[in-house]
Structures are given as structure tokens and as C-alpha cells.
Amino acid sequence: MKVLKFGGTSVGSAPRMKDVARLICDGAPKIVVLSAMSGTTNTLVEISDYLHRKNPDGASEIANKLRRHYLELPGGLYRTEEYRQLARELISERFDGLCSLMKQPFSACEEKIILAQGELLSTGLMNLYLQETGVRSVLLPALDFMRIDRNAEPEPSFIREKLTALLEKHPEAELYITQGFICRNADDGVDNLQRGGSDYTASLVGAAIHAEEIQIWTDIDGMHNSDPRYVKQTQPVRQLHFDEAAELAYFGAKILHPTCILPAKLNNIPVRLLNTMQPDSAGTTISNETEKGKIKAVAAKDNITSIRIKSGRMLLATGFLRKVFEIFENYRTPVDVVATSEVGVSVTIDNCKHLDEIVNDLRKYGTVTVDRELTIICVVGDLEWNNVGFESRIVYALKDIPLRMISYGGSNSNVSLLVRASDKQNALQALSSHLFSDRAHESSTNKH
């Protein structure tokens, strides 16, 4: 069985929902994971923000506007008045529940319930449409099988047990529809897998049922070799190793959530990135296979801050790095890129919430310099150290752009370069021209 996930844009309107239905109704049983309709989660976040600010009137106004938007959907989605009425009842039930939450004391628990409504709406409406068209579809509530522990980590054995039991109850079904993103926590409360978590849901579901394949359907034809918003004439990458895809996702490729990779990788399940608007396109296949000697793609991560700690005492000083990284750990601030020398260490972070406290603590061990408004450029491919020449191609492409840091060796699939944010577009364009143009390809081929 395959697992197919469709993002918010793919189910963002009645015509798009019908397109998705045509894609999934091919006679083969499958589990379909749906995100909320595009724009819905952002609106639910806005409603929660009003409630946090103790402004229920503002929250109610936004909720009523969203309700009216949803009530326009049944007229364009369903053929019969019977199913239009069922859809209206579903929408009213969800929004009535939302309004009741606005009359209660507001906390993080209520916020999680509010944020779950988008997926509950999209899956309910899609399941009704499939049933109206005669498809034997079953709604599998994610809140009945998807659970995280007290560390907000999924519980694979629980997911497998509960999901298997639900599937066994409906052996006659052609399609199983479930929600992405939402789950229950260790206290059995409604929770979620964070933004972008529908990808994670699909991967966890795929791992739980030992799926033949996991498909992530979005609005672009696979992962491109650079960011098409900044680089002209980018191309889809047809094949990626899981490690390459994870690096690209973490360092800025928005098509795939970084957490999606691990469950599929551990269970050796291929992941395909496909385009709902161009379903015949080959897209990108992610697996445990590596294409040797190829640079695949470039991604960029913005809003980076660099911190350099310089200390004359570092020479031969045991424990210096441990003390430095303990400070970041104490403030729960992840580090992206690291470069060291005999007299200092430079690191980058993308979360500056505790920057002042971190800098104050680091000053116990040396002189601290902070640089803001930086971007990490990540070059990904088969970059093992014995593949001679790839380093020079990458650095030469950026010969006219100042490099604040270079990090290589922590991974066989990634070289990270730190540049000023103002140089980002020029850096991406230069790398694309030098690494992916026809002339660059011919040059590389001739060398081998």
C-alpha cells in the first residue's frame, strides 16, 4: 500500500479537491494524508493570537469570516443537495466548537485544539466528496492513532498498533483518509507535529504500515537544484539520497519538511515529491541510493547570526569546546554551522531569542564578536573527500563573494558556506551557473 500526502494548496479549493480525488481514485488501496486548506492554519493562528491578547471579539470576527469562506465550498464541490447539507453540518459543527472555545479561559491546550480544526475540516469534506462519487472511503481520525511522548517525539510502536487495528476494521475500503499535522500528546490532549508536520505524518504512517512508497504532492514538480525565486531556469532533481534531501530540507528547501526524512530512511521506503498540477511529471525520488560524484542542488537558509569566540587560552585547553556548547544547550539554542581554529571557534544560530544571555556567558571564555544578517548557502551531493575537485568548483564559483565561514567534513553530502544576506542571490546564481549549466556539466564529464 502507498501513502499519499497532499498539501494545503492541493486541497485549497473545490476544483483542487476534485483534482486530488481523480489522482487518488485509481482502484488501488492507499492511505491519503491531507493538510488544512491553504490559508486556514494561518487564520487559526490569528484567531489564537487574538485570544491570547484577551480579545474574543476580534477572534470571533476572524472566525466568522473563515466560516463564511467554508460555507461557500459545498456549492462548488458536491453534486447533490444531500451531500451539500452534510458538508454544511460538518462545517457548522467545527465552527460551533471553535466559538465555544472562545468563551473559555484560553491556554496552550485550547490553542492546539483550534489549530487542529483545519485538518479536521479538509479531511471531512474530502471524505464526503469521495463517498458521494461512490468511492469506498473511510475516515481514519489521526487523533486515534498518532501520538507523541513527553519529549514531543512520536511513539512508533503506539502508532503502528493503533493504526493497524483501525485498518483491520475496514478491510473493504478503497481509500483511507486521515489528517496530517495533528496528534495527541502523552496526556491524551490534542497536539501537533509543528508546522509542516503533515509531511511527518505521512512518513510516520508509511513506516507504521511498511508502505511501498510515500508520495508528497505539492504545487511544484519536485525539489529543484536551486531556489526558483532567486535563480532563473532551475531544474528538478530526479534522484536524491535521504541524507541529501535532509540537508536541503533543513537548509531552506521548502518543499519538504526536514523531519519527514528519518522514518522513511530507517524503513527504506522511497519518498516521491510530485506536482498536483502536473501529475505526469517525474518529480523527485528520494531513497537510500546515491548517484556517485554528482553535485545535486543548492539551498539557502536566511536570518542567520554568527558568533565568534576568540581566546588566547584555548591553545591546548581541555574542555573549551564543551564549555562553549554547554552554553548553547542551556538556552536550548541549536547550532547550525561550526568552524574552529587554535585560538577560537565560530558558530551560527537561527534563533536569537537568548542571544544576549548567550553572549554574556561566552564572554567568560574569550572575546565575542556577533555578525547578523547572514545566510547559509548549502551545496549538496556526493561530496566525499576523495571526489577530487568539487571543493574548488564550489569555491571558485563564489570567487567574487566574501565568505564568512566554510564548513565541510561533518557530512559526506554537504558543504556549507556563510555569506552576507545581501549577497545571497548573487551567490545562488553564481553556483547555479558554475555547477549546473550545460557547460559546467560538460566540463565535469570531460574531467572524468
pLDDT bracket for residue 438 (50, 70, 90): low
pLDDT of residue 384: 80
Helices of type H across 178-293: 197-209, 242-250, 261-266
Q: How far is Cα 241 from Cα 295, in angstroms, rounded to an integer?
A: 12
| Tens digit of each residue's pLDDT (9 = 90 or more) over 206-221 | 999 999 999 999 888 8
What is the DSSP code (8-state) at residue 133?
A: T
Q: How far is Cα 111 from Cα 101, in angstroms, rounded to an integer?
A: 9
CB 270 within 8 A of CB 286: yes
- Which residue bears the cell 541510493? 289
Q: How far is Cα 397 from Cα 182, in angstroms, rounded to an integer?
A: 43
| Tens digit of each residue's pLDDT (9 = 90 or more) over 243-266 | 999 888 888 776 777 778 889 999
pLDDT of residue 442: 44
pLDDT of residue 389: 78
Percentage of the chain surpassing pLDDT 70? 95
| End-to-end Cα distance, the chain | 41
| Tens digit of each residue's pLDDT (9 = 90 or more) over 269-319 | 999 999 998 888 889 999 998 888 889 999 999 999 999 998 866 655 678
- Which residue bears the cell 537561527? 350
Handedness of CA 196, 198, 199, 205 (dihedral sign): positive
Mean local confidence (pLDDT), 332-356: 92
CB 182 within 8 A of CB 190: yes
CB 286 within 8 A of CB 261: yes
| Tens digit of each residue's pLDDT (9 = 90 or more) over 172-205 | 999 999 999 999 999 999 999 986 689 999 999 9
What average pLDDT is seen over the chain? 91
Mean local confidence (pLDDT), 25-37: 95
pLDDT of residue 446: 46
Handedness of CA 35, 40, 44, 49 (dihedral sign): positive
| Three-class DSSP category at 161 | helix
pLDDT of residue 260: 81
Q: How far is Cα 164 from Cα 284, in angstroms, rounded to an integer?
A: 29
Name the β-bridge partners of 286: 240, 271
Spatial CA neighbour of 321 closest among 304, 348, 339, 334: 339
Burial of 273 from C-beta contacts in 10 A (0-12 / 13-18 / 19+): buried
CB 375 within 8 A of CB 405: no
| Three-class DSSP category at 336 | coil
Spatial CA neighbour of 199 closest among 220, 218, 222: 218
Q: How far is Cα 113 from Cα 134, in angstroms, rounded to an integer?
A: 32
For residue 340, pLDDT over 90 is answered with no
Rounded to 5 degrees, φ, ψ at 202 are -60, -40
Rg for the chain, CA atoms, rounded: 24
Q: How far is Cα 32 from Cα 3, in angstroms, rounded to an integer?
A: 6
